[in-house]
Amino acid sequence: MARDPHDQRGRPGFRVPDGDAGKVFPNFAVTVDCVLVVMDNGLPHVVLTKRQLDPFADEWGLPGGFKRVDETLDEAITRQLYEKAGIRLKVAPRQLGAFGNPNRDPRPNVVTVVFLALTRSAPKWFPGRNVTAVDMFPLDDVANGEVETAFDHRVLVEQARQAIADRLELEPLVIDLLPPAFTLSELCSVYESFWRVRLDQSNVRRALLRPSRPYLETTGERVSSSDRGRPPEIFRPTSNWREGPPPIRFPRGQSSLSSWD
């Protein structure tokens, strides 16, 4: 009887974990997927690719694919983003987590390592290997299942949304998702999109413009507008964003919105 080439027992240095003697550990494949979030018109969007092959042919999914045995996870996601969608990111994606539900893929057991990348503007893309189209969709529509996706990618997008919501309280992430200069309304819309709450702009303004530690400074310009009333001011972030925790916190006394108008 031929020996299973994947069976490590008997090889130098191999030790069966205590309590697992006699068990044969099943093989499984490893894939990488990227949740690429793009801010567009003040709302977060997710880049998806339309699959050409089964399983889930003609359905939308996250750009990604199988990891090669001779590459790291970071190398794998960089390669897959370019091969599947023609995307080259200036900032490397960060690992979000690993997902190994045995029913997540109709093929043999597949564990995926999910990466998260954020950008304030859409990168260039084009359909690549085994992909018929590339497009971006509102993050909420994907996370809520309004856009049907392959595998468990809806769950992965929702996990990414929650991770971004958490990071907004710990890192100066909000200014990385905005243009170099922006209005107070545009800044609030980023928080509101991920936290799913309505913020009081008066409170936000006081927190960001307090004289002792300002987080914003005016550019001296205002938005060109034909609407009645005074056009909103345009601000730029100060260095205080990078020197301490973000000044805006999730309003704990306020319930999250279950839907948007």
Structural domain harbouring 47: 29-167
Does 229 map to a domain? yes
Does 53 map to a domain? yes
**231 and 184 within one domain:** yes
**160 and 145 within one domain:** yes
CA-to-CA dists, residue 216 to 164, 179, 205, 207, angstroms: 22, 13, 9, 10
**188 and 65 within one domain:** no
Q: What is the CATH number of the domain that holds 210?
A: 1.10.10.10
Would you write out the chain's pLDDT as a tens digit for each of its 261 residues? 454 444 544 555 556 566 665 566 678 899 999 999 999 988 999 999 999 999 999 999 999 999 999 999 999 999 999 999 999 999 999 999 999 998 899 987 899 999 999 999 999 999 999 999 999 999 999 999 999 999 999 999 999 999 999 999 999 999 999 999 999 999 999 999 999 999 999 999 999 999 999 999 999 999 987 566 788 999 999 999 988 888 999 987 665 543 333
Q: Considering its fold, how many domains does the chain have in total?
A: 2
**115 and 184 within one domain:** no
Tokens 């929650």 map to which residue? 162
CA-to-CA dists, residue 82 to 49, 120, 128, 246, 261, angstroms: 12, 19, 8, 33, 36
**187 and 123 within one domain:** no
- The phi, psi pair for 36, rounded to 5°, reads -100, 110
Q: What's the CA gap between 210 and 79, in Å, rounded? A: 46
**237 and 179 within one domain:** yes
The whole model's pTM is what?
A: 0.85
